[in-house]
Amino acid sequence: MGTLFELEKHQDKATQNDLAKLTNSDVAMTSQILRTLQKRGLVLREQIEGDERAKYSSLSPAGKKLVKKAAEIMKTNEKEYFAPVEKDMEQFLTYLQVLTRVKEINLL
């Protein structure tokens, strides 16, 4: 779903072959996943004119809402996960700046 979300920023629709290539997945598995997401109301699939087998896939409004909510949760979790490292990172960067300066004036 995240791949569809990103694709829709640049183009309107993608085929299951497009999605399979982009996600390095099997076309049959991609098709199965898309059917499941369609049944859950998260993905819309539209027949490509002139090709009975091919369909465009796009996120439904509910799918877009879910992807945005998941992204917010991931961002919050990432901040909480890395918060303890932040203080150490500041100290590390200070040491790195000192070492860079020492090297610049040829003290090392």
User: Which residue segments constitute the domains of the chain, with CATH numbers given?
Assistant: 2-62 (1.10.10.10)
**Burial group, residue 5, by CB count within 10 angstroms (0-12, 13-18, 19+):** middle
Binning pLDDT at 50, 70 and 90, where does residue 37 land?
very high
Q: Where are the beta strands (DSSP E) in 27-83?
A: 43-48, 51-59
Residue 13 has pLDDT above 90, yes or no: no
CA angle 79, 84, 88 (to 5 degrees): 120
pTM for the complete prediction?
0.65
Higher pLDDT, 3 or 46: 46
Residues contacting 44, CB < 8 A, separation 6+: 38, 57, 58, 59, 60
